[in-house]
Amino acid sequence: MAQAWLFPGQGSQRVGMAQDLWARFSQARALLEAANRLLGFDLTAYMFGNATEDPEAAAARLAQTEITQPALYVHSLAVVAVLEAAGCYPDAVAGHSLGEYSALAAAGALSFEEGLRLVRLRGQLMAQAGHKHPGAMAAILGLEDAAVEALCQETVAEGYGWVQPANYNAPGQVVISGEVKAVSRAVEKAQAQGARRVVMLPVSGAFHSPLMEEASRQLAEAIAHVPLHVPRCPVYLNVTAAPSRDPSEIRDRLVEQMLAPVRFTQTLRRMQGDGIATFWEVGPGNVLAGLVRRTLGREVQVLTVGTAEELETLLQQKH
């Protein structure tokens, strides 16, 4: 039965992440220590919450995008290191936004070191873009994708500025992104059209929109010089929702990804259509597991593999 590994993005971080992996698995500890050395600062102090005794301050520090992105990447790859040591490999991979870098590293298309360097830079560039070109994002629940697309187009046509879908997360769950005034207007329209709920996201930048143009250009320069290899298995890309094993296409789509919507709903449906029946969420939290169930139904096999306990249970079942 074909199995896909899915890698989470921002929003799945939590203080204490990967601390149990560090304590229980030598492969995870080695990778976490390597990340600290490569970055030149103690990333695990932010992940574990050791940098401060104030829980709120620890959560706020970890939520800074330039910290969040490497933290999520490193947590996911620490789990992968343990899985690979036990002989577990995926038939396909995909990631949600930042998680696409974790997916590429897990599939061998990107080295751990190069991936870490890119996600660190990506986080820094996105944080800078958020300060320079403030934007907003909002999750719209309970409207069809086409209705959300239409209200974004209407808002732009009315002259409120740019807004577009940023994440197709699951049926009836689309995140929009753009200029503050435009997102506010689109939110009003969504509520008037009967959206079940609208949630403003706690971000300063309009991720996955043209407001990231400058950041995308700078990231493109770095991506152009990073060696990309043919992945061991198909990587389903955010921009196209289609599988690829072509390093040249992967490079182009990684650059586009900062400006384009994450087509996660479409990715999951394509994976299921291609015969994938089992999904593992590899990394912290269970956000993607919930999206899989919402998109493909509750009968689909979904597993979260992010804690030491989850890993130990899985490895015991394997042997």
Catalytic residue set: 97, 208
Query: What stretch of H or E contains 198?
Result: strand 197-200
Phi, psi for 170 (deg, rounded to 5): -170, 165
Q: Using an 8 Å Cβ cutoff, are 209 and 167 in contact? A: no
Q: Using an 8 Å Cβ cutoff, are 272 and 255 in contact? A: no
The Cα 97–Cα 123 span in angstroms is 12
Q: Are strands 197-200 and 262-263 parallel, antiparallel or unpaired?
A: unpaired
Question: 236 to each of 48, 189, 246, how far by Cα in Å?
Answer: 31, 33, 11
Q: Using an 8 Å Cβ cutoff, are 185 and 155 in contact? A: yes
What SS3 class is residue 254? helix
Residue (of 155, 188, 148, 200) closest to 171 by Cα position: 148
The Cα 316–Cα 319 span in angstroms is 5
Q: Using an 8 Å Cβ cutoff, are 211 and 205 in contact? A: yes
Task: Name every residue whose Cβ is closer than 8 Å to that of residue 34 and which is 6 or more positions away in sequence.
Answer: 112, 113
How close are the terminal C-alpha atoms of the chain, in Å?
18
